[in-house]
Structure 1
Amino acid sequence: MDSIFKALADPTRRALLDSLRAKPGQSLLDLQGQLDMSRFGVMKHLGVLEEAKLIVTHRKGRFKYHYLNALPLQDAIDRWIEPLLEQPAARAVINLKTQLEGTPKMSKPDFMMQTYIHCTQDALWHALTDPEANAAFNFVAGSCVREDNKLILKFEDGRKMLVLTETQLTPKTRIESTFEPHWAGPDVQLDQSRFVYLIEPQGDNCLLTLEHFDIPAGQEGVADGWHRTLAGLKTWLETGQTIKFAHAEMEA
Structure 2
Amino acid sequence: MDQVFKALADPTRRLLLDRLRERGGQTLRELCERLGMARQSVTQHLDVLGKANLVTVVRRGRERLHYLNPGPIHEIEQRWISGFDRPRLDMISAIKHQAEEYAMTEATAAPSVPTYVYVTYIKASAEQVWHALTDADLTARFWGHANVSDWQPGSAWEHRRVDGSGAVDVVGHVLAAEPPTRLVITFEDSAGTEPPREPSTVTFLVEPHEDIVRLTVTHEKLANMDMFHGISQGWPAVLANIKSLLETGDVLPQAPWNMTPAAHA
Place the TM-score, normalised by the shorter chain, in its bin.
0.7 to 0.9
Contact 1:71 1:231 in 2 (8 A): no
Per-residue deviation, 1:36 = 4.5
**Superimposed CA distance per residue, residues 102-145 of structure 1 (whole angstroms, 9 cap, x where no aligned partner):** xxxxxxx933222110122232112101123223323xxx4325
Per-residue deviation, 1:45 = 0.9
Pick one of 166, 175, 179 that aligns with 1:167: 175
Name which structure has the greater RCO, CA cutoff 8 Å, separation 6+.
1
Describe the shift of the 1:203–1:78 C-alpha distance in structure 2 as closer, same or farther (beyond 3 A): farther
- In structure 2, stretches of 5+ residues that fail to align are 91-113, 152-156
Give the helix-richer structure, 1 or 2. Answer: 2
Q: Structure 1 vs Structure 2: percent identity of aligned residues? A: 36
Per-residue deviation, 1:81 = 7.6
From the CA coordinates, give the structure whose radius of gyration is larger: 2
Aligned equivalents of 2:149 and 2:46: distance in 1? 43
Describe the shift of the 1:213–1:170 C-alpha distance in structure 2 as closer, same or farther (beyond 3 A): same
Question: Pairwise mapping of residues 143-182 of structure 1 onto structure 2 (< 5 A)?
Answer: 143-144=145-146, 146-149=148-151, 150-154=157-161, 158=165, 159-182=167-190
Task: Indicate the larger mover: 55-64 or 16-25.
Answer: 55-64
Normalised TM-score (structure 2):
0.71
Per-residue deviation, 1:79 = 5.4
Pick one of 190, 208, 212 that aligns with 1:205: 212
Per-residue deviation, 1:166 = 2.6
Task: Indicate the larger mover: 206-215 or 69-78.
Answer: 69-78
Describe the shift of the 1:29–1:144 C-alpha distance in structure 2 as closer, same or farther (beyond 3 A): same
Per-residue deviation, 1:231 = 2.2
Contact 1:26 1:65 in 2 (8 A): yes
* 3-state SS of 1:126 partner: helix
- 1:74 corresponds to which residue? 74
Count of residue pairs brought into register by the alignment: 225
* 3-state SS of 2:15 partner: helix
* 3-state SS of 1:112 partner: strand
* 3-state SS of 1:177 partner: strand
Contact 1:155 1:161 in 2 (8 A): no
Question: Pairwise mapping of residues 15-30 of structure 1 onto structure 2 (< 5 A)?
Answer: 15-30=15-30
Describe the shift of the 1:187–1:31 C-alpha distance in structure 2 as closer, same or farther (beyond 3 A): closer
Per-residue deviation, 1:10 = 0.8
The answer to whether structure 1 residue 244 and structure 2 residue 249 are counterparts is no
Pick one of 125, 129, 133 that aligns with 2:130: 125
- 1:99 corresponds to which residue? none
**Superimposed CA distance per residue, residues 33-54 of structure 1 (whole angstroms, 9 cap, x where no aligned partner):** 3324333222211111112111
Normalised TM-score (structure 1):
0.74
- 1:195 corresponds to which residue? 202
Supply the RMSD in Å over aligned alpha carbons: 3.2
Contact 1:162 1:181 in 2 (8 A): yes
* 3-state SS of 1:49 partner: helix
- 1:9 corresponds to which residue? 9
Describe the shift of the 1:186–1:77 C-alpha distance in structure 2 as closer, same or farther (beyond 3 A): same
Contact 2:242 2:251 in 1 (8 A): no
Task: Indicate the larger mover: 173-182 or 207-216.
Answer: 207-216
Per-residue deviation, 1:233 = 1.8
Contact 1:181 1:191 in 2 (8 A): no
Task: Indicate the larger mover: 42-51 or 155-164.
Answer: 155-164
- In structure 1, stretches of 5+ residues that fail to align are 94-108
Aligned equivalents of 2:30 and 2:149: distance in 1? 43
* 3-state SS of 1:34 partner: helix
